[in-house]
């Protein structure tokens, strides 16, 4: 598992508006890459193009190449559904399915895709995913209760369990801790460290300390002004970005001179 992502001259549009332009980068497998930058600079937009969630919005499209182990995600004949089965996503706000129990939530990817799996395999997959998300011990006695009854942090880990139950190659996280308290945030950050053994992880965060704590590489995005497209200013090893970045704008942002 885990694949390399490569972006080449990626331009992203919402209708006529060019939201992000000229992104070139490589995201290494089995590592955590963090995207930081001010609001509206296109971090989340870039993240959403990586599993073709971007085009769910009306009129949104992408130019350029986005390669997953050399295969273009936007090539002709690529089915977004197949892309999303390999590239999982965790959202900013925990969003367990309200009609389903904890177990059904974890197995949602299996059930909703009409896969026929026997009961024993299902139980095994459910336990493995919940253990993977550090949630098993907390919920093992109430797997049949509704997922919406969990606390916010538990719900978010449930969503991570739901994503890794699909056994994706890449896991995208869009500000996964911004709706959580520090304790739950710590639990998720520890989890990210464990998950990077098996997955390529890309995380968007507003919290620079978090980026410094969890990521191996960091990319800094910025915009020139409102209405201007966002740009990837620089991407590199996290220590370098946070100690002696190449670009002045990055240093200004890191040291809190703006943003």
Partner 1 sequence: MSTTATAPKSSRHEASSLTAGQLPSWSTWVALVASIVVAALLTVAFGGFNLVGALALGALLFLVVMHVWSMSVEGGRKAVDRLAKHLVVAAFVIALIPLVWVIWSTLTQGLPRMDVTFFTNSMRSVVGQGGGLAHALTGTLWVTGIATLISVPIGLLTAVYLSEYGHGRLARGITFFVDVMTGIPSIVAGLFAYSLMTMLRGPGTQNGLAGAIALSVLMIPVVVRSTEELLRIVPNELREASYALGVPKWATIMKVVIPTAISGIVSGVILAIARIIGETAPLMIAAGFTASQNMNPLNNAMMTMPVFVYDQYAHPGVPVAPYHERAWAGALTLILLVMALNLLGRLIARRFAPKTAGR
Beta strands, E only, 83-169: 87-90
Q: Which residues contact 219 (CB under 8 A, 6 or more apart)?
A: 25, 33, 34, 35, 36, 232, 234, 235
The least distance separating partner 1 from the CB of residue 165, rounded to whole angstroms, comes to 9
The least distance separating partner 1 from the CB of residue 247, rounded to whole angstroms, comes to 32
For partner 1, the closer of residues 98 and 225 by Cβ is 98
The least distance separating partner 1 from the CB of residue 18, rounded to whole angstroms, comes to 22
For partner 1, the closer of residues 48 and 217 by Cβ is 48
Beta strands, E only, 198-240: 200-204, 217-223, 230-237
* Cβ-contact 169, 1 below 8 angstroms: yes
The least distance separating partner 1 from the CB of residue 22, rounded to whole angstroms, comes to 26
For partner 1, the closer of residues 89 and 223 by Cβ is 89
Among positive and negative, which fits the CA dihedral 29, 195, 162, 13? Answer: negative
For partner 1, the closer of residues 109 and 229 by Cβ is 109
For partner 1, the closer of residues 147 and 219 by Cβ is 147
The least distance separating partner 1 from the CB of residue 161, rounded to whole angstroms, comes to 12
For partner 1, the closer of residues 145 and 224 by Cβ is 145
The least distance separating partner 1 from the CB of residue 203, rounded to whole angstroms, comes to 15
Q: How far is CA 53 from CA 4, 61, 90, 166, 174, in A?
A: 19, 10, 12, 17, 12
For partner 1, the closer of residues 164 and 233 by Cβ is 164
Q: What gap in Å lies between CA 238 and CA 222, rounded to an integer?
A: 17
For binding to partner 1 (CB under 8 A), which residues are involved?
51, 53, 56, 58, 81-86, 88-89, 91, 93, 95-101, 108-109, 111-114, 142, 145-146, 148-151, 159, 162-163, 166
* Cβ-contact 148, 156 below 8 angstroms: no
Structure tokens at 116: 């026929």
- What is the pairing mode between strands 17-27 and 87-90? unpaired
The least distance separating partner 1 from the CB of residue 81, rounded to whole angstroms, comes to 5
- The kind and range of the H/E element at 129 are helix 119-132
- The kind and range of the H/E element at 246 are none
């Amino acid at each position: 598992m885990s694949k390399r992502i490569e972006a080449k001259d990626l331009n992203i549009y919402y209708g006529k508006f060019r939201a992000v332009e000229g992104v070139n980068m490589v995201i290494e497998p089995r590592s955590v890459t963090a995207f930081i930058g001010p609001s509206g600079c296109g971090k989340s937009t870039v993240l959403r193009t990586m599993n073709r969630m971007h085009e769910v919005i009306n009129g949104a499209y992408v130019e350029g190449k986005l390669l997953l182990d050399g295969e273009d995600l936007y090539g002709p004949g690529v089915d977004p559904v197949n892309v999303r089965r390999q590239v999982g996503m965790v959202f900013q706000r925990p969003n367990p399915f309200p009609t389903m129990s904890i177990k059904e939530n974890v197995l949602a990817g299996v059930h909703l895709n009409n896969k026929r799996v026997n009961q024993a395999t299902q139980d095994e997959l459910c336990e493995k995913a919940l253990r993977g998300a550090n949630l098993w011990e907390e919920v093992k006695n109430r797997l049949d209760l509704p997922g919406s009854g969990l606390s916010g942090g538990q719900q978010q880990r449930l969503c991570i369990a739901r994503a890794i139950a699909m056994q994706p190659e890449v896991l995208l996280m869009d500000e996964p801790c911004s709706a959580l308290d520090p304790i739950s945030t710590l639990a998720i950050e520890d989890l990210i460290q464990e998950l990077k053994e098996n997955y390529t992880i890309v995380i968007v965060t507003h919290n620079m300390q978090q980026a410094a704590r969890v990521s191996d590489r960091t990319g800094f995005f910025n915009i020139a002004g409102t209405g201007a497209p966002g740009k990837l200013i620089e991407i590199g090893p996290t220590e370098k970005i946070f100690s002696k970045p190449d670009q002045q704008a990055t240093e200004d942002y890191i040291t809190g001179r703006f943003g």
